[in-house]
Amino acid sequence: MRESFTLDQIRRLSLIVVSIGLVIGVTGAVRTGSIILSLGASVFVLARYTQQKVKRNIELLLPIMICIMLFVLALSLPNAR
pLDDT by residue for the chain (81 residues), tens only, comes to 467 778 788 888 898 999 998 999 899 888 888 999 999 999 999 888 888 888 888 888 999 999 999 899 888 877 655
pTM: 0.81
pLDDT of residue 80: 53
Helix or strand or coil: residue 79?
Answer: coil
Query: 69 φ, ψ to 5°?
Result: -65, -35
Distance (Å, whole) CA 42 – CA 37: 9
Domain ranges of the chain: 7-72
